[in-house]
Amino acid sequence: MPGPGEFELIREYFGSRFNTGARQGSDAHTVALGIGDDCALLNPPAGKVLATSVDTLVAGVHFPAAEDPFRIACRALRVNLSDLAAMNAEPLWFTLALTLRDSDPQWLEPFARGLAQTANQYGITLVGGDTTKGPLSITIQVTGACEQPLRRDGAGAGDRVFVSNQLGAAAAALPLILREVDGSVTQMEQAYAAYHFPEPQFAVARAIGPYASAALDISDGFLGDLGHICEASGLGADLDLDNFPVAELARSMNGETALETALTGGDDYQLCFTLPEKHLQTVQKLQLPITAVGRMRAAAGIQCSLDGKPWQPGATGYRHF
Ligand code: ADP
Ligand code: MG
């Protein structure tokens, strides 16, 4: 098999490109020992709770096998970072379990570059991993620290429901990225940005952290994911869709069904959170990129209205099985 062996591979691609925990303006030196020993040795920041999450991306299932490795790496890490943001955790460390068909430098170099660029941008450090041979698959485990975790089970009846930025861009992007349909230059740019470079919502999470009652990141579609908050909190929700923030790409690609795309399409990684009425004015003054879309209620189920009439979408979120 051409290319570097396992240990050279780890050293060359994952050993030295990552900042080592001495992040500017944050908890310095949380990594006592990084890659190279049997375990990493880590110093948890004092007085904080650790938040940890793991995700696996399998070639041919979660991304096309021939996809650009730089973009795969950026997306894989951003998607994991989004889970930290949704919990209002600050990024600290991650591990990478990589299964590769072969050790092809043409694939590894851009993959490692995308991973390092993203990691250094968000101040998260690679502290270990595992490298095996087999069908391409990428498992990333992230760990962060939080003072005010945002859980799914804290919503109260009467709380307002908010979403960050716009929804539907990533779902509208997929047929463009898979080349199932043609798009303009602008649409292709919007598609790659939305699908491969989702923005973990750390700034919004930090700002709402002291006030929100529940939160999650929207990975499988807004309605389905809001359903998780409803279930965990033992509530339902009434949604008013007249001002729902539909992404421009969803509008330009899907026209009349754009609202449906925004409500049920996955992969946007925006935040959905609930806010007790008493904090509404305080949070509105923060001028965040957020939209109020409804209200939690005691009775189970989610009901939507559009133009003052009841409205129902076709499906509720992507199901893996
Ligand atoms: P062990 O056999 O003790 O599990 P490995 O040979 O799997 O050790 O790994 C050696 C070192 O390299 C460990 O510190 C491990 O965390 C690190 N490592 C292995 N693969 C990766 C990877 N893909 N990314 C980052 N670190 C890795
Ligand atoms: Mg190992």
104 is in an annotated binding site: no
Percentage with pLDDT > 90 across the chain: 83
Which DSSP state fits 37? Answer: B
The CA distances from residue 192 to 70, 74, 77, 119, 185, in Å, are 12, 11, 16, 19, 11
For range 288-317, the mean pLDDT: 89
265-285 pLDDT, tens digit per residue, is 999 999 999 999 999 999 999
Q: Is the CB of 38 under 6 A from ligand 1?
A: yes
Q: What is the CATH number of the domain that holds 78?
A: 3.30.1330.10
Helix, strand or coil for residue 295?
Answer: strand
For range 74-101, the mean pLDDT: 97
- Ligand 2 midpoint to CA 83 (Å): 25
- Per-residue pLDDT at 19: 66
- Lowest-confidence range among 16-25, 69-78, 145-154, 234-243? 16-25
Token duo for residue 264: 């049920």
Summary count for the chain: helices (H), strands (E): 10, 13
What's the domain range around 131?
6-146
Q: Is the CB of 115 under 6 A from ligand 1?
A: no
Q: Is the pLDDT of residue 88 over 50?
A: yes
Which DSSP state fits 47? Answer: T
Task: Select from 205, 210, 315, 211 the least CA-distant residue to 265.
Answer: 315
End-of-domain residue from the set 146, 172, 202: 146
If you write DSSP's letter for every residue of 101-145 in order, what string do you get?
SS--HHHHHHHHHHHHHHHHHHT-EEEEEEEEESS-EEEEEEEEE
In a domain, 141, yes or no: yes
Report residue 142 CA to chain centroid gap: 12
166-219 pLDDT, tens digit per residue, is 999 999 999 999 899 999 999 999 999 999 999 999 999 999 999 999 999 999
94 and 212 both lie in a single domain = no
In a domain, 204, yes or no: yes
Task: Select from 224, 215, 223 the least CA-distant residue to 290.
Answer: 215
pTM over 0.85? The answer is yes
Handedness of CA 186, 188, 192, 198 (dihedral sign): positive
Total number of domains constituting the chain: 2
- Per-residue pLDDT at 28: 52
